[in-house]
């Protein structure tokens, strides 16, 4: 069996999705991938502390060139955007075509695209009055939140929800379940591809 798929997680904030991936690797839900690198676009992101606590290389990158360098040094094969707030360039995306996935806290094509990030997404869902929202994992292409969908999970909106309450429910019920599953799925595909000599 060829070695596991090397996974890099790009973050900007608290990193609860990163934590879900780390936990899933420990519990064996992710068995075909291993997190080898965490890159943060923000120096003080708690996600970097999580990386350190788990003996994973953590890098604060100020530019895309620095991100690329870290990815190359770690031989990353799969890039997971987990609360990463920077938009990646076309060149970067082309360089890692079908190798970058993102988690979005709504059911795409609802409440997505430019400006739809973090709490805003849940505000948009509540303002619209939807009764169901959720999370989506998708491949990243040049269109924000526009790449092929890998997995989705629905979550109920409840009376009296605030954006914060809804965000927490979407994370607990959808994001932290869906993202590790998707990381496993794509890691397995990449690993099998290597075995079959497709890589």
Binding site for ligand GRF (CB under 6 A): 11, 13-17, 82-83, 103-105, 117-118, 171, 175
| Beta carbon nearer to ligand GRF, 16 or 184 | 16
Q: Which of 142, 194, 85, 11 is nearest to 186 (CA)?
A: 194
Cα separations (Å) of 67 from 49, 155, 193? 18, 33, 25
Residue 104 annotated as catalytic: yes
Q: Please state, as a whole number, how many other Cβ atoms lie within 10 Å of the Cβ of residue 52.
A: 12
**Beta carbon of residue 71, minimum distance to ligand GRF (angstroms, whole number):** 19
Q: Toward ligand GRF, which CB reaches closer, 6 or 84? A: 84
- In the bound state with ligand GRF, the residue whose beta carbon lies nearer, of 5 and 41, is 41
Q: CB of 25: closest distance to ligand GRF in angstroms?
A: 16
Half-sphere exposure of 84 (CA within 13 A, CB side): 28
User: Which residue number places its CB atom closest to ligand GRF?
Assistant: 83
Query: Choosing from 104, 120, 122, 138, which is the catalytic residue?
Result: 104
Phi, psi of 40 (to 5 degrees): -115, 140
**CB 12 to ligand GRF: min, Å:** 7
Active-site residue set: 104
């Amino acid at each position: 069996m060829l070695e596991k798929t090397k996974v890099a997680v790009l973050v900007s904030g608290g990193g609860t999705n990163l934590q879900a991936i780390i936990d899933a690797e420990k519990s064996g839900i992710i068995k075909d991938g291993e997190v080898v690198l965490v890159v943060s676009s923000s120096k003080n992101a708690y996600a970097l502390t999580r990386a350190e606590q788990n003996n994973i290389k953590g890098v604060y990158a100020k530019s895309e060139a620095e991100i690329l360098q870290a990815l190359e040094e770690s031989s990353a094969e799969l890039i997971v955007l987990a609360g990463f707030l920077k938009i990646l360039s076309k060149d970067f995306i082309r360089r890692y075509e079908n190798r970058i996935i993102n988690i979005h806290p709504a059911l795409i094509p609802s409440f997505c695209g430019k400006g739809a990030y973090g709490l805003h997404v849940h505000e948009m869902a509540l303002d619209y009055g939807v009764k169901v929202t959720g999370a989506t994992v998708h491949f990243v292409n040049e269109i924000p939140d526009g790449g092929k969908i890998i997995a989705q999970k629905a979550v109920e909106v409840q009376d009296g929800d605030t954006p914060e309450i809804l965000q927490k429910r979407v994370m607990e019920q959808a994001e932290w379940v869906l993202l590790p599953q998707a990381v496993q799925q794509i890691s397995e595909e990449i690993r099998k591809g290597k075995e079959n000599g497709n890589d």
